[in-house]
Structure 1
Amino acid sequence: MCWSKPIYVKFNDFDTEHTRFASKYSLYMLKEGDVDVDEDPKVKGVPILFIPGNAGSYKQARCLEFQAATYYHNVIKHNPESLRSGTTSLDFFTVDFNEDFSAFHGQTLLDQAEYVNDAVAYILSLYHDSRLVQRGKDLPDPSSVILIGHSMGGVVARAMLTMPNYQSNSINTIITMSAPHARPPVSVDSDLVHAYQKIDDYWRQAHQQKWANDNPLWHVTLISIAGGGLDTVVPSDYASLESLVPDTHGFTVFTSGIPNVWTGADHIQTTWCVQLMKAIMRSTFDILDVHRPGQTKPRSERMRIFKKWYLTGMEGTIEKALPQQEASTLMPLEREASSLLKPGQRLALRELGQQHGLKAYMMPIPAHDPLSSTTFTLLSDQSLFQNSEILEVLLCSTISPQPGQSPNRISMSLDLSGGAPGSPRLACKSASQDIIALPASTRLSSFPFEKNTPMSYLQYDSSDLEDYRYVAIVDKATEHQMGWLLAEFSSDSKSSTVVNLGLQRLLSFGLRHKLPADRPLVSTVHIPALHSSLLAFNLRLGPQTCGDEAELFTPLLRQYLEEPHESKYFVNVKNANISLHGVAPFMPPPMRAQSKANHVSLQMWSDPTCDSSVNMSLDVDIAGSLGKLVMRYRLVFAAFPLLVVALVLRKQFTLYDETGIFITFAEAMDVCLRSSIPVLVLALSLLAISMSAPDYLPPAVQPSGLFGGASNSTESVVDFTKNDLLLGSQDQIFWVLVPLFGLLSVGVCVLVNYATLGLTYLFYLPYHYLILRPAWAKMEDIRYAPLDQADSSGRSIGPTFSPSSPRRRLITTCILLIFVSTLIPYQFAFLDAVLVQLLTCTRALRLAKSSSSMAYHNFYNYSHSILVLMLWVLPINIPVLVVWIHNLAVHWLTPFSSHHNIISIMPYLILVETLTSGKMIPQLHASPARYVTNIAFFGLAVYAAVYGVSYAYMLHHFVNGVFAWLVAIHIWGSGGVDLKGMKEILEGGDGEGDTKKQP
C-alpha cells in the first residue's frame, strides 16, 4: 500500500475539437503533492500515460506516480551520471473512462482505444507549446508516449496501434499489469471477440514479417506482468504473450519472480503493491533517453533493461554482462596473500575478515568440455552488487604482454603481493553486474518478501568462462565479522535430474525423490509430466541435519517455468504448494515452436556442508486442483448446461408429437438421463480423446482441427484457434472432464429447474389470491369455455386462457422492435421477453392448478421449458445490458451499432407474444417437419458443448434460430402455410364471437 497526496489536473481544453468522446471521457495530469506543489499543467520530462481497466478508475495511477516522483527527487535528481545519460522526470497522465465496462463490450474497448490515441496526440502537442514547456531548449520534442495499462487497459494499449487514428511511432513502450492479452475474459459479446481477433491478427502478422522495415511494431516493446494464482478475476494464463510477440519484443513475467517483489498479487493489488510499483517505475527510468525523439533507448537496450529488472537472472534468455565488460582490476598474486584451491574443491567461508586485510581465494576454472558441462555457482548472505566493501567476485585471466602494450589501461589494482617483483599478474573483470538476488532463507524466515537483506547468487555455465583461468573471491573485510560464502564447480549430471514419470502415475502415486548427501549447492529436479495449469500439488521436504556445525542457511526452493517466465520462491521450505501457469485450456499456441520443453522444474539451494540427504515427496492437491478447474472453466457452467436443456426439450417435443402429451421438464430429464445425455457425453468424450496430443508438442507437430488431423510438415502457419473447441485442452488425461462437467451440468440444470419452479410459484401465490373468485364463478367459466379448448381426446388445439387483444400485442411488438432498431439494444428486449414469459408461466400455472385438463398442463409444461431455456441464455445478454445502463448513467446516448439488429430478437418476441395468448404449439404428428425440431435442439446441444465457451455469444443466435422454427410451427400448424395460420397466431386461435354455451 502507498500513501500519497495526488493532485489531479484536468485538461478542459481537450474537448470535442480534439476527440468525439470528450463528453464521456477525461484526461488528467497527475502530480505528487509532497514533491510538486505546482498545479499548472506544465510538462517538464518524458510523457507517460496510465490506462485503467474494466470499471477501473483513473486514480489507480497514484501509486505509480508517487514512486516515480519520489524516486526522481530523491535519487535521479542527485545523480549527475543518470542525468547525463538522458534520464529525467516523468510527466504522468491518466485517463478517466467513467469506470466503463470494457471487458464486456467490444465497441467500448475500441472507443477507449480511439480516445487514448487522441489523448496521446494531444499530450505530444503540449510539448510544442512554449508556454507549457519547462525543458531544455536543446532537447528534441517527444514523439512517443510510454503506456502503462492495468487489466483491460493493457488490451486497449495494444488496440491503439490498430486504430485508424493512431499516430505512427507515437508508442514504443507498453507495460501491462494483469491484462488478458491471450483471449477475452468473457465471450458473451461478438464485438469483443471480433475486436480481439482483429488486434491479435495485426500483432501476429506484424511480427511474422521477414524484414524489419515491413514490421510496424519493430520498435515496440511489450511487457506483461501477471499476479499469479491470487488473481481470481482473470486467470493469469490470459496474460501470456507467447502467441502474440517474440521474445525479442516482449515477455510475460509473474510478480512472484520479480526480484525484491517475490509475492503474488490479486487483480487490484497490481496497481498498488509497493514492491511492484518500485520495480516498474525504476525500470522505466532506466530506459529513458531524453536526447532521442522517442524519449527511450533503442528496443534491444530496452529489452535488456526490462529483463534485468523483471526476470530472475537464471533464465536461458538472459545475456550475461561479463563479456561486454573491460578488465578493471590488475591483481598481482603472492601465495601468502592468496589461497589457491585445488581443482573441483568447494570454497566454504563461515566467517569474514579473518586475515584483517585483503585475502583472495583463487578457484581454477576447469577446461571447457562439450560432452560434460560444468556450472560455477556462488551463494552468500552478503551483498555482492556494485561497490561492495566486504566481498568481491572477479573473473581473471593471465596477462601476456605484447610488445608496446601497457597494463596501465586497467583502472584499479589490488596489490596482494606486497610489491614483490616477479609476482604473476592477472587481469580481472568484476562479476557484480551478473549477481542475482535471492530471498533470504533462515530458520526465522516465513515469506520470501520479508524485509531481510537478500542473498547474492552467481551462476556461470562453462561456456561463459572459456576465456578465464580463475575465479577470484576477494575478502575485503578489515576486521572479523559474521557472514558466509559458498562457491563451487559442479557437474550438470549431478546437479540436474529428470524424473520421467507419466502424469497418470504422478497423480496416482505421487513422486518420491531423494537428494543425496554429496549433492552440490544447487540441485534441480525436472518433471516433464507436470505442465498443466489445471493441477496443484503438495511438496514436502524431509529434515536436513548438519551435525556439529550450524547450517549456513535453510533450504530455499524455486519453482519455475521457462515460458512464460514464472518463478515462485519458498524460504525455509518444509512444505510448499506447487501450482503453475503452464499449458492452460483455451489458450492459443505459441507463435514459434518452443526450444525447450515447457514443464515445471524445482530448483533447490541447500547447505552442502551439512553432508546429509534430503527426501522430497510430491502429491496431488485435490482441493487445490478443483479450485483451479473452477477458475479456468467458469464459463463452462454457462454453456455446458445448455446441452442438457436442449436435449430435454428435444425429448419433450418428440414425445409430444408422438403422444400429444407435453411432459414436465423433470420427467424429460429422467428419460434423457437414461438415453440421449449419456450417449452424447460419451461421443463428446471420444471427440476430446481424438483431439488430444500424446504430449504437449511444439505447434509444428501438434494435431489441430476438429478431428486432430496432422498438418503438413512443410506448413509453417500456426492454427491459433485449435484450442477453442470443447474443453480447450489437448492433454489426453483431461478427457475425463467431459463426463465430469456433463454430470455437474445435469445437477445445475436440476437446481435451475426447481429454482424456476420456485420463482413461478412465488409470482403465482399473490396472483392467485388477487383474482380469487367464488366457486359458482369458476363453474360459469367452465360452462362457457371455448369450444375449441380440447378435441375429443382432450388434447389442446386452442388457447388455454383468454388472449389479449391481437392489436395490442401487434402494436407492442412493433414498438419494441422500433426501439431496438434505434435506441435500446436487443438485450434489453430479451430481458423484457423473459419477464413476460415468467408472467405467462404464472398464468398457465394458475389454470393448471385449477383444472385437471391435459390442455392446461401441456401448455404450462411447454411455457415452463421455454422459460428455462431463456433463463440459460439470459446471462449471455446481461453484460451488454449492464454496459448500456452504465452509458445512460453517464449521459452517453450514442447507440451500439452492433446491437440493434431486430432479427436477433424478433423470433424471441413473436414466440413470447404468441404464448401470452395461451396458444399451444401444434403437434406435427408424422410430418417430416418434426425431424427439423429434433435436429435443431440436437444441434444446439452439440454447439453449446463444442463451441459454447469460446463463442458464447453465438448461443443467443442459435436459440434465436430455434425459436424462429417454433414460431413457424405455430404459424403453419398442421395445415400448411396460409393466412389463416397467421390470423390464429395473432388472435390466439379463437375469435371472441366463437364462444358458445355448451349443452
Structure 2
Amino acid sequence: MTSRLLVYLVSIVSLCIVTSVYYAAIDTIKILSPQGCRMSWMSPSYLLQSGFDRTWTPLAERYSLWLYREVGWEGHELHGAPVLFIPGNAGSSHQVRSIASSATRQYYSNPHQVAYEFRGKPLKALDSGSVEFNEDLSAFHGTTLDTQRIYTLRVIDYILSLYPPDTPIIIMGHSMGGVVALSVLPHPRVSAIITMSTPYTLPPARFDRRIDHIYSTNEKILMSEPTPVLSLCGGATDLMIPSESCILPEAHAWANGSKPYRRTIFSSALEGSWTGIGHREMVWCHQVRWRVARAALQLGATSTSTERAAVLDTWLHDGQTLPFGYPSSAPPLSLEAAEFLPVDLRLELRNPAGSRTYVLPVPGSSPPGQKFLLYVSQGSIPPTAPHNPLPLHVSIYSCDSRDTCQPLQPSILKLMPSPQPGRPFPVPDEGSDESEGVVVFEAELPLSCSNVAVKMEYADGRGWVVGDFVSKDPFIARTATFSPFLSHVSLGWSPSQLKSAIQLPNLLSNALVVYKLTAILSSGCTEALLRPLLQHTSHPTETHYFPLGPSSRILLHTHASAPFVTSAYTHGVNLTIYSTGENACAVEDLALSVDLWATFGRWGTRYAAPAASWAVGVVAILLFDAWRTAETTGIMPSAGSSLTTFTCARLPILLLLALLTSFIPLPVGVLLGNRGEWLLAPIAPLLLLTVTGLVAISWTMVLALMWPLKTLTRRFPSRPSMVAARRTSSMASFGLICLLIFLLVPWQVGFLGCWIYHLYSCASAKSVHAVSEAVAIPLMTRDDEGDRPNDEQAPLPAQLPATTQDRSAQNERELLLLLMTWLLPLVAPVLAVWVRTLFTAGLTTPFNGDHNVLYVAPFLVLVDPGWGMKWMWTWTWRGQAVGPKARWTMLTLAVVAFVWGPRYTYVVFEVASAVLGVGVIASLMRG
C-alpha cells in the first residue's frame, strides 16, 4: 500500500510541475517580454495568377500563386520590383498583406501618385506575390517542406518570366517559409532573403529524419552562398519557436577574406521597435513591417551584394554595427566662431536654436582612457535619426593641437528609446514612439585628439543635446556563478555620469535562466532629460532595454546559449546604464537574483519533446524489468505492479544517475543538451521525476479508455469460432495492410490502427476472462479425490482465477499497449500532416518516404492476441541458444531514448520498431 501511495505522490508532483511550467510560460508575454505592437491596417485584394498552371508544375493543382494589390491605390498590371512571400507552418498567402500594403502606401503618397521622396529615383513599387500552401503543417514533415521548395522554384521561374531579363527577385519568408526560402538557393536571380521568426539551427519538431537533411543542406547554403540573408527574431515573446534557433550561424570567411552577409536582429533591439514580438504578430507588427517594406523598396534599385547589405543595415538596424554612410572623410572644420567650453564642463543644450559649434577640451588624462559620448534627442547624427526627426543636425569632430578638425569615427552610433515617465515600456498595443528616440554617439579618442568639436545646425528650439567624456573601462563585478541562485547579490558599483558599463563575466548566460534585477534610484527624477535606461546584452545580436525607476524590478533573459544549440556565449552578462547624469536621479544600487517562476516558463517550450522521449525510456525499462521477472517466476507482472516496482526501486537510482550524468560535458546533441553545465544539472532528475508521473497518469487514462470497451465486449462477447476465423485470416490482413501502406497511406496510419486494435484487444481480453469466470459450472467431486492430500485436491473451476499463462500474456499485452501509447506522440505530428493534406489535396498526394512497411510491421505482428510472451525468452535457432535474452533490446531502447532521443526524437521510434522487429524475427527463428 505504501508503494502505491508513492506512485500517487509522484503523479501528483508531476502534475504540479507540468501545470507550473505551463502557466509560467503563458506569463512570459506579460512579465518577461511584454509586447508593444501597433496594429497595421490595409485594404487588401488578391489576384489569382491563373497563368501559373499545370504546364509549369503538377503541383499547381495542389498549391496556388496570388498577387497582392492595395484596393484603390494601384492597378492590376505588373509595374514594379518582384517580391515573393512564403508563409510558414499552417500559414496563409494572405499574410503578405501587412508588408505589401505598407510598401504601397510608402511609395504612393496618394492613389497612383508617387511620393515626393521617391520621385526621380530609380525605385519602383513592389509587385508582392505570395504562395498559398493551403495551411500545410510543414514544420512536422520533411517531404512537405521539400514539396514546397520544388513548387517555390517553379514560382520564381514563372514570376521572372513576366519581367525583363536579369530582373532580380526578393524573397521573404515567415517561420518555416524562411526555411523554404533558403532552400531555393543557389539561385542567380534571388537578390536577398528576409526571414521573420524562422528557426534556422534547430527544427521546432524533430519527428522526421528528412527535416534533418533539409536543415543540414541549408547550413551548407548559409556557409557558401553570397546571397544576403537577414533574420528577424521575436525573442521570448515568441512561444512557438525558441528564438535561439532563429540566430543565423556565423559564416566563415572565404578564401579572399570576405564573408557573405548574414545578419540576425532581435525585435527588442531593432531601432524603432524595442519590443518582443510574438510568432504570428511578426508579419503585422507595424514597427517591423514598415521597415521591412522600406528595405524591400530600396533593394529593388540595387545591383550588388554590397549595396544590398547597405540597404538592409540602414532600414533594419539594431545598433550592434555601424550604419552605412557615416562621413569618414569630410572637409576640415573651422573653429573661428566656435564656443570653447571650460575643462570638466559637459555640453548640455536644452531646447537649442540656430547653428553653432561647441569645443570640449579633452581632460588631463590621456585619450586612450577616454571616450566621448553624445546624446541627441529627436534630432539626427547622419545617417542615424528617428522616424520624422526634428531639423536638429549634429556632427562630431576630433581636433588636434593645431585646431585641425576631422570627423570623429564612432564605435557606436545608434538610436535608443526614450521611455515616457509613468508609462509601461513598451506600451501595450502601441509600443514606443520612435520620433522621441535618442541618438547615441560614442567614439574612442585618437592619440592626437586635444579637443572635440560638436557642430549643431538647424536647431529650432526643440530637443536637447548632452555630451561628455566617459571612462573607457567597464566595471567588472566578480560575482560567483551560483550566488544569484542563493540570494540577492548587490553589485557594489559606483555609477558614472552619462554611461555606466557593468560586466558580470561569471554569470551563466542561458535561455533556461532568468535573472531578476532590482534597482534603487534617487527620488528626484522629474527634471532629468534622460532617465536611467538599462541596456542588457549577452549576445552580439540581442539587446534589451529597460527603463529604471524607483525600486524597479527587471527580468533579464537571453537566447545567447540554450539546450541543443552550439554557442560561444555561455557565460557573461553585460549591463549598461545610459542617463543624462543628474545627481538627483542617480542609480544608487543594483541587486541581482534568479527569478524561479520566469525560469520555469523557459523550460516548457524546450523540453516538451525530450519529455516524450524520456517517457518512452521509462516504459522500456518497465518492459525490461517485467520480462526479467517473467524469466525467473514464469509470471509477467501487470503494468500497475511494474510502475510500483519502478518507482520504489529503479527511480531513486535513475534520479541519481541522471544528476551525475548531467555534470559530464557531453556533446550538445546528447541528453538534455546542456553540455555539462553544473547549475543546470538538477533539470535532468526533475524531468525524469516528471515523466515518471506522466507515465503513471497515462496508464490510468488507458485503463479509463478500456473501461467502455470492456463494457461493450461484455454485452457482445466474441464467439470462439469468430476468434478462430480471425486468427485464420491474420496473414491475409497483414498482407493487405502492408499493401495499403506501400501504395496509399503512410505507415503512421498503420501504427495508429495497430494502437486502436491493440487497445480493443486488451479490453476484450479482460472481458473474456471475466465472462468465463462468471459462467463456469462447478463439477461434482469424485469419491477417489477424498483420499488426496489437501494440496493435491483440485479446487472447483468456479473458484479458479484466470490461468497463469493467460494472465501473464494479458499483462504483457498491456505493457506493450503502454509502450505504443507513448510512441504515438512521436508519429502523431506526421499523421496530422497526412490528415490535413488529405482534405486539401486528396488521397493521391504522394507522401514520399512515409511508406516504409518495416517501421510498422513488428507492431502488426505483436498486436495479434495469440502472440503472447513468445519472444521474451532466449533467442534460439533449431533448439540452440544463439544470443542474450531478448529483453536486453528494451534496455537498448531506453538508452537511446534518454541519451539521443531528446534532440533526435525520430530515432526513438526507429529504434523501438527495430528492437521489436528483432524480437519478432527471433520468435520466428524458434519456429
So what's the TM-score if we normalise by structure 1? 0.78
Q: Report the Cα distance in structure 1 between the residues aligned to 2:217 and 2:318, rounded to whole angstroms.
A: 34
Asked if the contact 1:360–1:472 (Cα under 8 Å) also holds between the matched residues in 2, the reply is yes
Q: Decide which moves more: 819-828 or 761-770.
A: 761-770
Offset at residue 886 of structure 1 (A):
2.1
2:811 to 847, 861, 864: 861
Aligned to 1:891: 841
- Counterparts of 1:902-913 in structure 2, within 5 Å, are 902-913=853-864
1:91 aligns with 127
1:637 aligns with 2:637: no
**Per-residue CA distance 1:449-478 (angstroms, 9 max, x = gap):** 233742323322225796784322537557
Cα distance in 1, alignment partners of residues 587 and 99 from structure 2 = 46
> Are 1:651 and 2:625 an aligned pair?
yes
Q: Cα 1:949–1:243, aligned 2, differ >3 Å: closer, same or farther?
A: farther
Give yes or no for contact 1:258–1:309 (8 Å, CA) kept in 2.
no
Match of 2:101 in 1: 66
Q: Deviation digits for residues 866-901 of structure 1, max 9, x if unmatched? A: 101001111111111222222221234232221111
- 1:138 match: none
Q: Is the 8 A contact 1:391 1:473 kept in 2?
A: no
Deviation at 1:929, TM superposition (A): 6.9
Q: Does 1:155 align with 2:175?
A: no
| Distance across 2 between alignment mates of 1:464 and 1:278 | 39
Q: Which residue matches 1:101?
A: 137
Where do 1:718-867 residues align within 5 Å? Answer: 722-730=667-675, 731-771=677-717, 802-850=723-771, 851=773, 852-853=801-802, 854-867=804-817
Native 8 Å contact 2:530 2:579 kept in 1: yes
Aligned-partner residue type, residue 735 of structure 1: A
- Out of 674, 680, 690, the position equivalent to 2:664 is 690
- Deviation at residue 126 of structure 1 after TM alignment: 0.2
Q: Which ranges of structure 1 fall in alignment gaps of 5 or more residues?
A: 129-140, 163-167, 207-216, 290-295, 401-423, 692-707, 709-721, 773-780, 787-800, 979-999
Residues 1:20 and 2:55 aligned together: no
2:36 alignment partner in structure 1 = none
Change (3 A) 1:438 1:465: farther
Q: Deviations over 1:668-722 (max 9, x none)?
A: 222223444444454444333222xxxxxxxxxxxxxxxx5xxxxxxxxxxxxx4
Match for residue 342 of structure 2? 342
Equivalent residue number for residue 489 of structure 2: 511
Q: Any conservation in 2 of the 1:178–1:227 contact (CA below 8 Å)?
A: yes
Taking the aligned partners of 1:597 and 1:925, their CA distance within structure 2 comes to 49
1:255 aligns to 2:267 (yes or no): yes
Structure 2 unaligned runs (5+)? 1-38, 254-258, 774-800
**1:563-613 CA-partner distances (Å, limit 9, x unpaired):** 333434446572212111111111134xxxx6x886332221234122545
Superposition pairs of residues 703-718 of structure 1, within 5 angstroms: none
Other-structure match for 2:792: none
Q: 1:944-971, CA deviations, whole angstroms, 9 ceiling, x for partnerless residues?
A: 0111122211222211123223424554
Counterpart in 2 of 1:227?
A: 234
Q: 1:491 aligned to 456, 471, 496, which one?
A: 471
Describe the SS at the equivalent of 1:176.
strand
**Would the alpha carbon gap of residues 946 and 466 (structure 1) be closer, same or farther in structure 2, given more than 3 Å must change?**
farther
Structure 1 residues 815-841: Cα deviation after superposition (integer angstroms, max 9, x where no partner): 000111111111000000000100111
Task: Give the residue type in structure 1 aligned to 2:91.
Answer: G
Q: Which stretch shifts more, 505-514 or 652-661?
A: 505-514
Deviation at 1:342, TM superposition (A): 3.0
Task: Quote the residue 2:518 is aligned against.
Answer: 540
Matched, 1:474 2:483: no
Task: Please tell me whether residue 880 in structure 1 is matched to residue 884 in structure 2.
Answer: no
Q: Of 930, 950, 954, which aligns to 2:907?
A: 954
Q: Distance in 2 between matches of 1:926 and 1:920?
A: 13
- Within the candidate set 187, 198, 210, 1:191 is matched to 210
- Going from structure 1 to structure 2, the CA distance change for 1:562 and 1:309 (only over 3 Å counts) comes to farther
Partner AA of 2:468 in structure 1: E
In 2, Cα distance between equivalents of 1:447 and 1:645: 48
Take 2:106 and 2:537, find their aligned partners in 1: how far apart are those partners? Answer: 31
Q: What's the CA shift for 1:543?
A: 2.2
Who is 1:384 aligned against? 380
Matched, 1:458 2:440: yes
Q: 2:14 — aligned with what?
A: none
Q: Write the letter of the residue equivalent to 1:963.
A: L
Cα pair distance change 1:848/1:539, threshold 3 Å:
farther
Determine the structure 2 residue equivalent to 1:776.
none
Cα distance in 1 for partners of 2:607, 2:888 equals 28
Q: Is the 8 A contact 1:227 1:266 kept in 2?
A: yes
Structure 1 position 426, deviation (Å) = 6.7
* Equivalent residues of 2:141, 2:830 under 8 A apart: yes
AA aligned to 1:275 is Q
Whether the aligned pair in 2 keeps the contact of 1:64 and 1:281 (CA below 8 Å) is yes
Inter-partner Cα distance in structure 1 for 2:812 and 2:564: 36
Within 1, Cα distance between the matches of 2:694 and 2:179?
34
Query: Using a 3 Å threshold, how does the CA distance of structure 1 residues 108 and 452 change in structure 2: closer, same or farther?
Result: closer
Over the aligned positions, Cα root-mean-square deviation in angstroms equals: 3.1
Aligned counterparts of 2:579 and 2:144: Cα–Cα separation in 1: 52
TM-score when normalising by structure 2: 0.84
- Distance verdict in 2 for CA 1:598–1:26, change over 3 Å: farther
SS of residue in 2 equivalent to 1:229: helix
Are 2:72 and 1:34 aligned? Answer: yes
**8 A contact 1:515–1:613 mirrored in 2:** no
- In structure 2, which of residues 565, 574, 582 is the aligned counterpart of residue 601 of structure 1? 574
Query: Percent identity between the aligned chains?
Result: 25
Equivalent residue, structure 1, for 2:396: 395
| Cα offsets for 1:781-807 (capped at 9, x unmatched) | 9xxx99xxxxxxxxxxxxxx9544333
**Which of 305, 311, 333 is residue 305 of structure 1 equivalent to?**
311
Q: Secondary structure at the match of 1:635?
A: helix
Task: State the alpha-carbon separation in 2 of the partners of residues 564 and 350 from structure 1.
Answer: 34
> Which residue in the other structure is 1:176 paired with?
195
Tell me the secondary structure at the aligned position of residue 43 of structure 1.
coil
The offset of 1:61, in angstroms, is 0.2
Instruction: State the SS of the aligned residue for 1:103.
Output: helix
Match of 1:5 in 2: 43
On the 8 A contact 2:813/2:868 being kept in 1, the answer is no
Query: Which letter does structure 2 place at the counterpart of 1:30?
Result: Y
Residue 191 (structure 1) shift: 1.5
> Is the counterpart of residue 526 in structure 1 residue 503 in structure 2?
yes
Partner secondary structure for residue 181 of structure 1: coil
Q: Which amino acid aligns with 2:233?
A: A
- Over 3 Å counting, the alpha-carbon distance change for 1:613 and 1:961 in structure 2 is closer
Q: Which amino acid aligns with 2:517?
A: L
Taking the aligned partners of 2:378 and 2:51, their CA distance within structure 1 comes to 55
Residue 924 of structure 1 corresponds to 873
CA contact (8 A) 2:398 2:408 kept: no
Cα drift, residue 45 of structure 1: 1.7
How far residue 195 of structure 1 moved from its aligned partner, in angstroms, is: 1.9
Aligned equivalents of 2:206 and 2:244: distance in 1? 16
Q: Displacement of 1:544 after TM fit?
A: 1.8
1-structure distance, mates of 2:744, 2:324: 61
* DSSP-derived class of the 1:599 partner: strand
Count, aligned residues: 836
How far, CA to CA, are the matches of 2:459 and 2:681 in structure 1? 62
> What letter corresponds to residue 608 of structure 1 in structure 2?
G
Name the counterpart of 1:993: none
1:361 pairs with 2:352: no
8 A Cα contact 1:368 1:463, kept in partner: no
8 Å CA contact 1:582, 1:599 repeated in 2: no
Measure, in 1, the Cα distance between the counterparts of 2:481 and 2:521. Answer: 27
Partners of 2:632 and 2:570 lie apart in 1 by 57
